[in-house]
Structure 1
Amino acid sequence: MWCLPFSWLYRIRPSVVHDPFKALTQSTFTNDFRACPPNPNQLRWQPFDLPKNPADFVEGLATVCGAGDPKARSGVAVHVYACNQSMKNKCFYNADGDFLIVPQTGDLHILTEFGQLHVQPREILVVQVHMSVPLAGNGMLVTFQQGMRFSVQVSAPSRGYILEVFNTHFQLPDLGPIGANGLANPRDFLSPVAWFEDVDSVDYLVVSKFQGSLFSSRQDHSPFDVVAWHGNYYPYKYDLAKFMVVNAVSFDHADPSIFTVLTCPSNTPGVAVADFVIFPPQWSVQEHTFRPPWYHRNCMSEFMGLLYGRYQAKEEGFAPGGASLHSMMTPHGPDQEAFEKASCVELRPTKLEGTMAFMFESSFSMAVTQWGQNGCSKLDGSYYRCWQGLRKNFDPNWKPQQTEEPLTSPEIIQS
């Protein structure tokens, strides 16, 4: 039975004991998605840089793209982070929405008001999330829900991706005909390990994200002085290796929705504010078909990243730590090499191993920020060339055998 997400926190001092908030300048982090003119082209970024100078998690935040307005509680944003030092006497919270954090390299040790979480690459973290089912088990992903304070500690240079939603919270997708088990199982989500900190006489900086801007306030004690809590509103992590893939076993490449780990639903049934989708190691067993993703145009914005290995539809040029954005109704699909390889390969059971790609998919039409377009210097201007060598294979005189498909490029347009 669903209930309103909330938690009671029993703390040594009320969190209201702090100085007034003041504006904090952070030129690479924004929720203003109107600054750059629209760009419908397929976009790809080479791996984002790790910091050369000391930078903590907050200082290493940068926004790639997004849509909507946090003041209206409607929209999404995609950020990346790159840091090489821990947040010392400093914490962060998001008053605008939820953060889903996907580490790509480097472990994160996270202090929260609810306890501690240790997150490794291939895990995700959600800060501010409510699940309509209990959370327990083993995990690798992190979510921080709206308003939760946390501090990121690192022992080595770290980099990753963040999906922010303004509307509601992430939840498990409806399984429908799949049944009770499959995809991300509730038992595999982990909540923080109990811990609190009672520290006085320190100059502690609290950073707030409010209406798309950053502010800071100072207080003389640790914000992690919660000695007990109970409720259903807390951060959690999830191990992507525990995802149970449900795949096509006869023909055709199934819709990415079968790889959905978490979703943030909209008010329109079947339409998501954002989905977090992964493409993990799996068996591919379809026959008489084209196994990679179809060439397609659809009504969703697709931001993809690669955590490790190679992605089957882009084996060259799409590197771990980089990203791509295919905007709604802009055509995209496998590059020339992937198409030719998939068209000629013998169709026998094949296991895709040593790879983990993901997608932030949204019904919002996302705009690229100034930093994403020019500031990061990672935009690949030659991305479009990966499709230019695709040849015409159609022969009007060719007559297929009973089990063969016509020699054309499969393409889907979907709304």
Structure 2
Amino acid sequence: MGNRNWIPVRAAQGVHSRQAHADLPEGTYEREISKEGFFGPAAFIHHRRPPTGWTSFEGPLRPRAFDLARLNAAEPSPWAAGKVLYNAAVEVRFWKLAQAMPALARNADGDQLLFVHQGTGDLFCDYGRLAYGPGDYLYLPRGTMWRLAPAEPTAVLMIQATNTHFGLPDKGLLGGHALFDPAILETPALDDAFRAHQAQEGEFRVEIKKRGEVSVVTYPYNPLDAVGWHGELAPVRLNVKDIRPVASHRYHLPPSVHTTFLSDRFVVCTFTPRPFETDPGALKVPFFHNNDDFDEVLFYHAGDFFSRDHIEAGMMTFHPSGFTHGPHPKALKNMLVQPKPATDEYAVMIDTRDPLEVGEAAASVENPAYVDSWKTP
């Protein structure tokens, strides 16, 4: 995801560990400074005190948290859902839907990824029907016509890849079946439920979003009238419980190993339950780091996120690039010894190359005290 021509440096000073994220000098806290997120060259600095031990933090660079669960209004159209975060390459919205969409939707601005936070129901689209439930990623290629028909109230995190597409990461030495076997990806079916949907009569509206504006096309029949399809492009469903995370008992792996989807200017990662490191010298919490090349976003879906205090399901944190962050003070107590054998968390991370803007929807449910959560109690 960028220039690989680095200035070659191999140097060390003072007291330091021989291995990153393991066997730290006694009484020190490690901070990683790296390029290209966690993909490029890095330096590991050992501090006497936690690098997030600030007493105050002023200005727009501060870490921010939003309780998206408090966005209570259900909207019939995904394009009416408020923007949470956005830039020229990605658009993130949080959408609640109480009943079947009255119109079809079509995104002409880019590929769409729907992450189902709550609710069950059916997705009907050009290709057929997919049932959905909590923890499902629903990938929709650009231009797909679709609608959701909830069986129960539904909440969705929507991620748009503007003017481009989503792909899968190169799994390298792990092999193509690591993280999840592509065979697990489920495509829509032209089944009896879909044919019953096709049989509906009357006028059908299609709300098409292009360059942020919505146009409406009306048909005198249901335009989801396909009788068959084939090819190498289709919507797919992937549930977080089908993702098998990479783990190492001797080394705390960076979040980039949990990459699920790639786009040109951002990545989508998924945190799922995994065993803690058992090596006595290995870090057991996320390491302090400078996120200088990417803005970092985390949406908390379910469970107990072990490196953060006062975070509940449906909340989102936003760490702009340019400052050091890492585990909260409570998590630091477990830096080398974890009381539990494994994590219990499901979360979606979005790392963006370009700075993100905060939308009105997120600003209305912000927790301004989040920046103080790193202070030593």
Give the TM-score taking structure 1 as reference length. Answer: 0.71
User: Deviations for 1:152-177, whole angstroms, at most 9, x for unmatched residues?
Assistant: 11122211211111243212210112
1:319 pairs with 301, 305, 312, which one? Answer: 312
Q: CA deviation at 1:48?
A: 2.5
2:271 pairs with 252, 257, 279, which one? Answer: 279
Equivalent residue, structure 2, for 1:162: 158
Q: Quick one: distance in 2 between partners of 1:221 and 1:199?
A: 9
Does residue 364 (structure 1) correspond to residue 354 (structure 2)? The answer is yes
> Which amino acid in the other structure matches residue 371 of structure 2?
Y
Instruction: Report if the CA contact (8 A) 1:49-1:82 is conserved.
Output: no
> Where do residues 310-349 of structure 1 align in structure 2 (5 Å cutoff)?
310-314=304-308, 316-339=309-332, 341-343=333-335, 346=337
Does residue 151 (structure 1) correspond to residue 147 (structure 2)? The answer is yes
Does residue 177 (structure 1) correspond to residue 179 (structure 2)? The answer is no
Equivalent residue, structure 2, for 1:261: 260
SS across alignment from 1:351: coil
Q: CA deviation at 1:199?
A: 4.7
Change (3 A) 1:50 1:367: closer
Change (3 A) 1:329 1:108: farther
Instruction: Report if the CA contact (8 A) 1:103-1:120 is conserved.
Output: yes
Does residue 381 (structure 1) correspond to residue 364 (structure 2)? The answer is no
Q: CA deviation at 1:58?
A: 2.5
> Which amino acid in the other structure matches residue 327 of structure 1?
P
Q: Quick one: distance in 1 between partners of 2:209 and 2:157?
A: 17
SS across alignment from 2:131: strand
SS across alignment from 2:246: coil
Instruction: Report if the CA contact (8 A) 1:285-1:349 is conserved.
Output: no
Q: Quick one: distance in 1 between partners of 2:352 and 2:240?
A: 20
Q: CA deviation at 1:372?
A: 2.2
1:45 pairs with 66, 69, 77, which one? Answer: 66
Q: CA deviation at 1:362?
A: 1.6
Instruction: Report if the CA contact (8 A) 1:50-1:83 is conserved.
Output: no
> Which amino acid in the other structure matches residue 325 of structure 2?
H
Q: CA deviation at 1:285?
A: 2.0
> Which amino acid in the other structure matches residue 231 of structure 1?
G
Equivalent residue, structure 1, for 2:75: 55
Q: Quick one: distance in 2 between partners of 1:207 and 1:101?
A: 17
Instruction: Report if the CA contact (8 A) 2:106-2:146 is conserved.
Output: yes
> Where do residues 87-102 of structure 1 align in structure 2 (5 Å cutoff)?
87-88=101-102, 90-102=103-115
> Where do residues 156-235 of structure 1 align in structure 2 (5 Å cutoff)?
156-194=152-190, 195-196=194-195, 197-199=197-199, 202-235=202-235
2:133 pairs with 106, 120, 134, which one? Answer: 120
- How many pairs does the alignment contain? 313
SS across alignment from 1:85: coil
User: Deviations for 1:213-256, whole angstroms, at most 9, x for unmatched residues?
Assistant: 122222211111111111111111012111121122213x2111
Q: CA deviation at 1:311?
A: 0.7
Q: Quick one: distance in 1 between partners of 2:269 and 2:285?
A: 16
User: Deviations for 1:322-379, whole angstroms, at most 9, x for unmatched residues?
Assistant: 111111123222111111x213x635882223x2112011212111123322xxx310
Q: CA deviation at 1:79?
A: 1.0
Unaligned runs of 5+ in 2: 1-58
Q: CA deviation at 1:198?
A: 4.5
> Which amino acid in the other structure matches residue 171 of structure 1?
G
Change (3 A) 1:95 1:180: closer
Equivalent residue, structure 1, for 2:93: 79
User: Deviations for 1:281-315, whole angstroms, at most 9, x for unmatched residues?
Assistant: 1111243132111122121111111111111111x
Q: Quick one: distance in 2 between partners of 1:290 and 1:201?
A: 60
Q: Quick one: distance in 2 between partners of 1:76 and 1:329?
A: 20
Does residue 307 (structure 1) correspond to residue 301 (structure 2)? The answer is yes
Equivalent residue, structure 2, for 1:21: none
Unaligned runs of 5+ in 1: 1-37, 69-74, 129-145, 267-272, 391-415
User: Deviations for 1:138-192, whole angstroms, at most 9, x for unmatched residues?
Assistant: xxxxxxxx00000111122211211111243212210112224311220110000
> Which amino acid in the other structure matches residue 352 of structure 1?
T
Identity of aligned residues (%): 21
Q: Quick one: distance in 2 between partners of 1:331 and 1:221?
A: 56
Change (3 A) 1:206 1:279: same
Instruction: Report if the CA contact (8 A) 1:57-1:82 is conserved.
Output: no
Q: Quick one: distance in 1 between partners of 2:96 and 2:240?
A: 21
Instruction: Report if the CA contact (8 A) 1:51-1:83 is conserved.
Output: no
Q: Quick one: distance in 2 between partners of 1:277 and 1:55?
A: 27
Q: Quick one: distance in 1 between partners of 2:341 and 2:259?
A: 22
Instruction: Report if the CA contact (8 A) 1:172-1:184 is conserved.
Output: no
RMSD: 2.1
Instruction: Report if the CA contact (8 A) 2:290-2:323 is conserved.
Output: yes
Instruction: Report if the CA contact (8 A) 2:306-2:331 is conserved.
Output: yes
Change (3 A) 1:262 1:200: closer
Q: Quick one: distance in 2 between partners of 1:57 and 1:105?
A: 17
> Which amino acid in the other structure matches residue 306 of structure 1?
Y
